[in-house]
Amino acid sequence: IAGPEKKNAVVSEQKRKLVAYHEAGHALVGALMPEYDPVAKISIIPRGQAGGLTFFAPSEERLESGL
């Protein structure tokens, strides 16, 4: 979805930890927002321009509604 993994990217332990906190923040805010799509996947592997990714997937009901 966000592109191929950056296999040659060297990420320090400190940056990996920072990205993990950042993505966890996205997941928490999404979980606390009423009627927001649920978290489907969280990754701290760099892909494309992103250092990490939190992916929210729409529910079946939302997909069928066309919204």
**Active-site annotation holds for 64:** no
Yes or no: say if 23 and 15 are a contact pair by the CB < 8 Å rule.
Answer: no
Work out the number of other CB atoms within 10 angstroms of the CB of residue 28: 12
- Say if strands 53-56 and 39-43 run parallel, antiparallel, or are unpaired: antiparallel
Which of these is catalytic: 23, 60, 61, 64?
Answer: 23
The residues annotated as belonging to the active site are: 23
